[in-house]
Amino acid sequence: MFAGVIVVTALMMLATQLMGQAATGAWPSITLASQLNIPPDRVLSDWTILDRAMWFVLSDVQLWVILILAAGLIYWLMDWTSEMLARLFSVRPAAAATQLS
C-alpha cells in the first residue's frame, strides 16, 4: 500500500513536469537538490567518487525516477519481510491462505 502511494506521487510529479513542458516548451527540472534548496557549490563528501555519485543523484536524476525506485525497493522489502515472518512463525502468506479457502 505504501509503495503504491509513492508510485502515484511519482506519476503526479511526472505529470507536473509534462504540464510545465507543455506550458513553457522547456523541460522543468525537479530534482532533490532543487526541492531541498541545496546549493551547487556545497561539498557533500571529501571523497571525489562518492561526492560525484551523490551529486548525480541529487541534481541530475529527476525526482519521479527516484520515487519509482524507492517504491520498488519498499515493495520488495515488504514482500521479503512477509516471507521471512511466514517462515519464522510457520504461517501461510495471506494470498496462499485465501486461494486454499
For residue range 1-10, what is the model confidence (pLDDT) as tens digits?
889 999 999 9
Sign of the alpha-carbon dihedral angle for 22, 66, 11, 32: negative
The domain locations on the chain are 2-100
Instruction: Return the pLDDT at 70.
Output: 94
Position 89: which residue type? F
Torsions phi, psi for 65 (to 5 deg): -65, -45
Q: What is the mean pLDDT of each run of 10 residues along the chain (101 residues)?
A: 90 92 89 89 84 90 93 93 85 64 57
Q: How far is CA 1 from CA 4, 5, 8, 26, in A?
A: 5, 6, 11, 34
How big is the CA angle at 30 (ends 33 and 20), to the nearest 5 degrees? 155
Instruction: Return the pLDDT at 40.
Output: 83
